[in-house]
Amino acid sequence: MPNCINLSVGEPDFSPPSYALEAGFEAAREGKTHYSATNGLAELRRALSEKAYKDYGLTYDPDSEILVTAGGTEAILAALLAWLNPGDEALIPNPGFVVYEPSVLLAEGVPVHVPLLETNGFWPCPRDVTSLITKRSRVIVLNYPNNPTGAMPSYEEIATLAKIAVERDLTVISDEVYEKIVYDGSRHYCLATFPGMRERTLVVNSFSKTYAMTGLRVGYVYGPKELLSPLWLVHQYMVACVDILSQHVALAALRGSQDFVRDMVSEFDRRRRFVVERLNEITGLHCTLPKGAFYVFPNIEDFGMPSDRFAEFLAREAGVLTVPGSAFGSGGEKHIRLSYAASYKKLQEALERMEKALRKLT
Ligand SMILES: Cc1ncc(COP(=O)(O)O)c(C=O)c1O
């Protein structure tokens, strides 16, 4: 469908900062084309250790408590392969990022869905979490700012779940890859900063979203040595090490000016406000203003159509590609996900088209 406007992709429509890319070219020219240490370039781990301290006051030893991975995707799978025995239960958000459930299944674990309800700001209700914990529960996966909903919990909401994790002795995989993409002066609180959490949390992060580096595949995990070392082994046999040139790009991105991130987020913010306002002008659509990431997750319930049929309708009749909420689990059924990582002009055109097409249904 050549004339479609694609709002289905989960990646920034920006290029990485040029000074970071230049560091990659430079490394190539200097012949830095060999394996790095399995856990990542020493300089990069040192820079990541400094970042954890600067951003959150957290101390992680660069040699034993930081692992550089092939994106957050590898980090999540490595964590689950490392920490689930066959039959162990992993609590995952529903709707949730598409990688969680297959990764639990690859680790021969049992996915247990924690509902994220719109009425609760798309954050797990403590009562639901407690009722889903059994003797086989081993891990809980949390993700904020959230994909697909864009939701951001408050400090208190995170603290309540952290307390449950401590009381029920769960290991937490905290997926924080959108940490820098937050709006309205919201603050991101790293899960490991909450009482009792550093020792039980694997913080997953990535350069993909913050520096628009999705194709370069650099992510990382912070965790105490005892939690992190089995991931390191899994990682060693899956990828040996992350692409060395990409690691040089990541290092330069981290060490350079952070204006790039600020400017990108401010442009996302402009688009976010526009998209939510326009969606709410369309009869039948209801959309809350998300506080993070670059997605909106409008409610399509009024149309009385399954989300996959609704997304297909939009593709065929409006030429706009979105993702059916059901792709993120049964809990997404009454929604579609739109990414505003597309130019303002494209977004304007897409919303015009959607409004026109959806008039036929009301
Ligand atoms: C919530 C979440 N976690 C992790 C990732 C993984 O990204 P990457 O593997 O590019 O770091 C994504 C990508 O879309 C995501 O949305």
69 CB within 6 A, ligand 1: no
Tokens 């912070």, residue located = 222
**Integer Cα distance of 183 and 266 in angstroms:** 8
Number of the ligand 1 atom closest to the C-alpha atom of 146? 1
214 CB within 6 A, ligand 1: yes
211 CB within 6 A, ligand 1: no
292 CB within 6 A, ligand 1: no
Choice from 74, 178, 208 to test ligand 1 binding pocket (greatest atom count within 8 A of CB): 208
Crossing angle for the helix pair 225-239 and 71-83, nearest 10 degrees? 120
| pLDDT reported for residue 308 | 98
What's the CA-to-centroid distance between 72 and ligand 1, angstroms?
Answer: 5
Ligand 1 atom 13: the closest Cα is on which residue? 10
C-alpha dist (Å) from residue 32 to 18, 151, 239, 246: 19, 40, 18, 11
39 CB within 6 A, ligand 1: no
Choice from 206, 243, 246 to test ligand 1 binding pocket (greatest atom count within 8 A of CB): 206
Lookup: tokens for 294: 């670059």
What's the CA-to-centroid distance between 133 and ligand 1, angstroms?
Answer: 26
| pLDDT reported for residue 186 | 92
| pLDDT reported for residue 86 | 98
Choice from 97, 142, 176, 294 to test ligand 1 binding pocket (greatest atom count within 8 A of CB): 97
Neighbours of 15 (CB within 10 A): 12
- Is residue 152 within 8 A of residue 181, CB to CB? The reply is no
C-alpha dist (Å) from residue 67 to 36, 70, 87, 185, 302: 12, 10, 26, 30, 46
Tokens 């709002």, residue located = 7
Number of the ligand 1 atom closest to the C-alpha atom of 293? 16
| pLDDT reported for residue 362 | 83
**Integer Cα distance of 171 and 83 in angstroms:** 8
| pLDDT reported for residue 205 | 98
Nearest CA to 181 among 154, 206, 155, 215?
Answer: 206
**Integer Cα distance of 135 and 101 in angstroms:** 20
**Per-residue exposure over 290-327, b if at least 16 CB sit within 10 Å of its own CB, e if not:** bbbbbbbbbbbeebeeebeebbebbbeebbbbbbbbbb
- In the 8-state DSSP scheme, what is residue 199? G
| pLDDT reported for residue 27 | 98
* Biggest distance spanned by C-alpha atoms of the chain: 62
Number of the ligand 1 atom closest to the C-alpha atom of 219? 11
Nearest CA to 348 among 287, 281, 252, 249?
Answer: 281
| pLDDT reported for residue 1 | 82
**∠ CA 172-174-176 to the nearest 5 degrees?**
175
- Is residue 211 within 8 A of residue 250, CB to CB? The reply is yes
- Is residue 307 within 8 A of residue 324, CB to CB? The reply is yes
Q: Which regions in the chain score pLDDT beneath 70? A: none
| pLDDT reported for residue 288 | 97
Residues 6+ apart with CB under 8 A from 312: none
DSSP letter for each residue of 176-193: -TTTT-B-TT-----GGG
Number of the ligand 1 atom closest to the C-alpha atom of 175? 3
Number of the ligand 1 atom closest to the C-alpha atom of 217? 10
| pLDDT reported for residue 237 | 96
List the beta bridge partners of residue 173: 141, 202
**Integer Cα distance of 183 and 90 in angstroms:** 30
Lookup: tokens for 248: 């040089």
| pLDDT reported for residue 327 | 98
List the beta bridge partners of residue 68: 220
The Cβ-side half-sphere exposure at 133, using a 13 Å CA radius, reads 19
246 CB within 6 A, ligand 1: no
Pairing verdict, β 171-175 and 201-206: parallel
Counts for the chain of helices (H) and strands (E), in that order: 11, 12
